[in-house]
A and B are shown apart, each in its own frame.
Chain A
Amino acid sequence: MDEWPRRMDRRTAVKLITAAAAAPAVLGACGTGATESAASRSRSGNPLAAGTPSDPNLLEPVVPWDLTLSEDELATLASLCDTIIPADDRSPAASAVGAHEFIDEWVSAPYDAMREDGVLVRGGLVWLDEESERRFGARFRELSGESRTEICDDICYAPDAAPEFQAAARFFDKVRDLTATAFYTTRVGLDDLGYVGNVPLASWDPPPEAALRHAGLKPGD
């Protein structure tokens, strides 16, 4: 167990990748006219990518569209994200890794599916503050944890939600999905889940015995 997994030592891994990157390109620098004009359009990091939406520079990603949520919407959204994924003893709250900013990026994207999500999310934020005012006389972000829970309990699961909360439940489910996406795709989220991959290994070995035992398997199964 203590040897598992055997990581490739860092020097070997770095050597492999830099050796590859230093090798001449398949067609070399002589390429074609298009290659040269593409290079002049693109930023550093990838001289071949055109930097267009269908040929983005994968090594230096940028979000090419404008963000659309207002400061006020973002503040309400952040408090909802943190209600969904709060800090605990293992990891911080969702807003600490920018979940609300990710949702802004998502709903502002120039694609039909994301535009639809944007309508749901922005409309939901209006509803959430309105409902908070109605029940507690304050914006959602100003409510105590207890009050927030009282609202969220009504909208956290569409199959159990009352008819008047169905639309809000769809909104909540969307924000929960997006918050989880935002959180668990960051280093913080990966560590929280115990994802230990994405590292070069010197060899690939069978699963550790503890994992086999956990699944009711024994070596040789």
Chain B
Amino acid sequence: MSARSDYDVIVVGSGAAGGMSALVLAVHGLKVLMLEAGRNYDPLVETPMFQLPSEAPLRGAGTPEKPFGFYDATVDGGWQVPGEPYASADGAGFMWWRARMLGGRTNHWGRISLRMGEYDFRPYSRDGLGFDWPLTYDDLAPYYDRTEALIGVYGSNEGLENTPSSSPDVLLPPPAPRVHELLTRKACADQLDIPVIPAHLAILSTRQDAERWPAELFPDNPLARRVVGQSMRSRAACFWATPCGRGCSIRANFQSTTVLLPPALATGNLEVRTDAMVREVTVDSSGRATGVHYVDKTTRLDEHASASVVILAASACESVRILLNSKSGAFPQGLANGSGLVGKYLMDTVGASLGGQIPVLEGMPPHNQDGASAMHLYMPWWLYGQQAAGRLDFARGYHIEFGGGRRMPGPGVFSGLEQFTGGVYGRRFKEAARRYYGSFLYFDGRGEMIPNEDCYCEIDPERVDRWGIPTLKFHWKWSKHELNQARHMQRTFRDIIEAMGGRVMGTVHEDGADSIARPGEIIHEVGGAIMGDDPDRSVLNQYCQSWEVPNLFVTDGAGFVSNADKNPTLSIMAIAWRACDYLMDRMRGGAL
């Protein structure tokens, strides 16, 4: 540690990557400063756990300020952040979801926690598209185990192709499926040969084993065992009510603010500054990072903090923005950007959806279908064989998420009902509502996008945000792989709906361009500072370390080399943990 530095490590961001980085470093005794651009946020006292839509403005409907509805946990965010614009090149239509709050987007996320599989680390070797990762599944598997055991993930091990199993006892038991999930599974098994298996979600279906896991995760570290044990004991198991997207005041689901930050703070080694908007990473004359400049939003004044190591974990695009804004004589293109690849190869997840009305679900005897609020079952990608045989017109897979049933009604609960009833009103409307309630299902495909040259972000030469920081401009173009995949998704959903004897609602489009979600809309944006083995063709090494600035790490999704259909948050945390182990190893060896 340099004598001049205030901290061992500065972590920029407090979400999945920042929370995990700070926890791993703090439990090992490093002095960490975390800078979060948003406000302090405490799910224990802020979460509206049982409030009904009728208690909220507009019955809880989404607005430009609260796009996922009034009760969604997101603070000062969504597709727009007040005073912090971004731009899209003509036709790109990129949508960037941000949250300005402690814990970032982990507070509202879907909790879907799927491991990338063996194939997913070697996509180029398999089909010649995109890039291979500089690490393998086996390299990351121990960190997946640790992450799952630490945060608590329910699911099962099914042994399906490229759908990895966790080590024994790591996963919590999956909750029993609901009626519509069983019905879907039966139709898929009997008629379509599509596997429907327990989903993996970061929700405590039972309490964690607070005696066993801290000892196994941190065998020679009494401090870590104490704080992680305390944290696990403070978490209740899910009581099967209230949507996870609101946050969870009993700590039953994973949020950085309920699972990572409390034990990290309990070490006494972590200091958190909220309302601290990082502008740039500073460097000395030898090209080493010295710290960061940030704007204190409460005073609007520039501040500087110094550390031996800087970790960017601000979310893929925000970390890219900081790198590109860290220009100096030695780094005229921005920091860590000698390859010119910072901002390049942005990826999101391919999304398409379709709804169906299922007559056999009409008039269901009333019973509680809330469950874990999100899905209990899902369909992993199943057509590897067809793809290998060249029988599909897209190269990579997708999984299917689905839901519906007798959920708590929200705004628009019976929009579209008229197409089934011929527009009834009066007493017959009430009868129809009772009959049709719970008979609607929705299918969402989540597919792998292949990185391409046309998808990137850069500093917008014309704009700054209200903190004076230059903003991003996005560029985007799908390839035929994504568009064809979106078409395939909708056709599959139609087949499933019809196999259940249902009726499709909406349109199955011939052209995937008409059904594919907008870039960024699935909120799985990764890439922009890809890892690799070659400093000329990548920004980071396999440990999230900058090739050019060895004491600079980027532990969020920016380092992703591909974007498998597996939702990225779990992988972000596993990769961040592995990076921090490497960082500490290098530090102990005196290399940092």
Q: Which A residues fall within an 8 A CB radius of B?
A: 4-5, 8, 13, 16-17, 20-21, 23, 25-27, 31-35, 37-38, 46-50, 52-56, 58-59, 61-64, 83-86, 88, 90-91, 97, 102, 105-106, 109, 111, 114, 149, 152, 156-158, 160, 172-173, 176-177, 180-182, 184-187, 189-190, 192-208, 210-212, 214-217, 221
Contact (Cβ within 8 A) B46 A156: no
Contact B364–A214 (Cβ < 8 Å): yes
Residue pair A90, B430 in contact (C-beta under 8 Å): yes
Given A21-B44, A214-B179, A214-B360, 11 extra CB contacts under 8 A:
A27-B42, A34-B39, A47-B45, A59-B48, A156-B423, A181-B61, A189-B409, A204-B238, A212-B182, A215-B180, A217-B186
Could you tell me the distance in whole angstroms from the C-beta of A216 to the nearest C-beta in chain B? 6
Asked whether B53 lies within 8 Å of A111 as measured between CB atoms, the reply is no
Residue of B42, B175, B238 contacting most chain A CB atoms (<10 Å): B42
Say whether B418 contacts A85, CB under 8 Å.
no
B274-A35 in contact (CB<8A): yes
**Are the C-beta atoms of B412 and A181 separated by less than 8 Å?**
yes
Provide the bound-state CA to CA distance between A3 and B254, in Å.
30
Q: B306 near A: Cβ within 8 Å? A: no
A211 touching B367, Cβ below 8 Å: yes
CA of A173 to CA of B249, assembled, Å: 39
Contacts of A201 in B (CB 8 A): 239-241, 368
Write 12 A-B pairs (CB below 8 A) sorted by A numbering.
A17-B49, A26-B102, A26-B265, A26-B272, A32-B273, A109-B58, A152-B425, A197-B241, A197-B406, A197-B408, A204-B238, A207-B182
Stretch of B25-33, B65-73, B441-449 contacting A (4+ beta carbons < 8 Å): B65-73
Contact A20 B39 (CB under 8 A): no
Please indicate the chain A residues that have their CB under 8 angstroms from the CB of B71 in the complex: 58
Known A-B contacts A111-B64, A160-B422; A186 and B54 likewise in contact (beta carbons under 8 Å) = yes
CB of B23 to closest CB in A, whole Å: 13
A182, B64: Cα distance in complex, Å? 20
**Given A26-B261, A31-B40, A35-B40, A20-B423 contact (CB < 8 Å):** no
Segment with Cβ contacts to A, from B75-83, B282-290, B555-563: B75-83
Q: Which residues of B contact A85 (CB under 8 A)?
A: 429-430
Expressed in whole angstroms, the Cα–Cα distance for A6 and B249 within the complex equals: 21
Q: Does B386 contact A (CB under 8 A)?
A: no
Q: Which residues of A contact B46 (CB under 8 A)?
A: 46, 48-49, 58-59
Q: Is A217 in contact with B368, judged by CB distance below 8 angstroms?
A: no
Contacts of B176 in A (CB 8 A): 204-207
Question: Which residues on B sit within 8 Å (CB–CB) of A156?
Answer: 418, 423-425
Judging by beta carbons under 8 Å apart, are A204 and B240 in contact? yes
Residues of A within 8 A of B240 (CB): 200-201, 203-204
A3 → chain B closest CB, angstroms = 12
A17 touches B54 (CB 8 A): no
B-side binding surface: helix, strand, loop or mixed? loop
Using an 8 Å CB-CB cutoff, how does the interface string of B136-161 with A read, 1 for contact, 0 for none?
00000000000000000000000000
Q: Which of A97, A185, A207 contacts B410 (CB 8 A)?
A: A185
Nearest-Cβ distance from residue A117 to partner chain B, whole angstroms: 11
Nearest-neighbour CB distance to chain B for A102, whole angstroms, equals 7
- Whole-angstrom distance between the alpha carbons of A177 and B178 in the complex? 28
Is A105 within 8 A of B58, CB to CB? Answer: yes
Q: How far is the CA of A211 from the CA of B439 in the complex (A)?
A: 13
A88 to B41, CA, bound (A): 45
Check A21–B430 contact: CB distance below 8 A. no
Provide the bound-state CA to CA distance between A193 and B364, in Å: 10
Q: Does B390 contact A (CB under 8 A)?
A: no
The answer to whether A190 touches B409 (Cβ under 8 A) is yes
The A-contacting residues of B in range 404-428, CB under 8 angstroms, are 406-415, 417-418, 422-427
Contact between B367 and A208 (Cβ–Cβ < 8 Å)? yes
CB pair A185–B249 under 8 Å, yes or no, is no
**Contacting pair A16 B66 (CB below 8 A):** no
Alpha-carbon separation in the docked complex, A72 to B71 (Å): 33
Q: Is B63 an interface residue (CB 8 A)?
A: yes
Tell whether, in the assembled complex, residue A180 and residue B297 are in contact, meaning their CB atoms are under 8 Å apart: no
Interfacial chain A residues near B257, Cβ < 8 Å:
26
Known: A21-B45, A185-B54. A198 touches B39 (CB 8 A): no
Bound CA span A49–B76, Å: 10
Nearest first, the 5 A-B pairs at minimum CB distance are A157-B423, A194-B366, A197-B370, A200-B239, A185-B53
CA separation between A114 and B64, bound complex, in Å? Answer: 11
- Chain A residues in 8 Å Cβ range of B183: 215-217
Q: A82 — nearest CB in chain B belongs to which residue?
A: B426
**For residue B407, which residues in chain A have a CB less than 8 angstroms away from its CB?**
197
B425 touches A16 (CB 8 A): no
Docked pose: A35 CA to B315 CA in angstroms? 23
**Least distance between B351 CB and chain A CB atoms (Å):** 22
Question: Would you call A25 and B418 a contact (CB within 8 A)?
Answer: no
Asked if A187 contacts B52 (CB within 8 A), the reply is yes
Whether, in the assembled complex, B387 has its beta carbon less than 8 Å from a beta carbon of chain A, the answer is no
Once the chains are docked, how many angstroms separate the CA of A61 from the CA of B372? 25
Known A58-B71, A185-B409; contact A48-B42, beta-carbon cutoff 8 A: yes
Asked if B364 and A211 sit within 8 Å, CB to CB, the answer is yes
Chain B residues in 8 Å Cβ range of A91: 430
| CA–CA, A215 and B182, complex, Å | 9
Q: Give the distance to chain B from A208, nearest Cβ to Cβ, in Å.
A: 5
Residue from the list B66, B236, B418 in contact with A173, Cβ < 8 A: B418
Query: Which of A27, A90, A114, A173 contacts B102, CB < 8 Å?
Result: A27
Q: Given the known A-B contacts A157-B422, A216-B360, A217-B179, are A186 and B52 also in contact in the complex, defined by CB atoms under 8 Å?
A: yes
Partner among B61, B297, B409 whose Cβ is within 8 Å of the Cβ of A195: B409
Q: Is B129 an interface residue (CB 8 A)?
A: no
Contact A204 B366 (CB under 8 A): no
Which of B47, B70, B371 counts the most chain A CB atoms within 10 A? B47
B126 touches A (CB below 8 Å): no
Q: Which of A4, A61, A190 contacts B70 (CB 8 A)?
A: A61
User: Contact at A33–B425, with CB atoms within 8 Å?
Assistant: no
Contact A34 B437 (CB under 8 A): no
Q: Using A84-B429, A106-B58 as known contacts, say yes or no to A195 and B298 having CB atoms under 8 A apart.
A: no
Q: Which B residue sits closest to A217, measured CB to CB?
A: B182
In the assembled complex, B242 has its CB within 8 A of some CB on chain A: yes
- B220, CB-defined interface residue at 8 Å: no
Report the bound CA distance from A114 to B65 in whole Å.
Answer: 14
Task: Give the complex CA separation of A22 and B537 in angstroms.
Answer: 51
Tell me the bound Cα distance from A204 to B371 in angstroms.
Answer: 7
Cβ B422 vs Cβ A176 within 8 A: no
Q: Is the CB of A221 within 8 A of B186?
A: yes
Name the residue on A nearest B299 (C-beta).
A33
Question: In the bound complex, how far is the Cα of B49 from the Cα of A8, in angstroms?
Answer: 15
Q: Which residues of B contact A182 (CB under 8 A)?
A: 59
Report chain B residues within 8 Å CB of A186: 52, 54
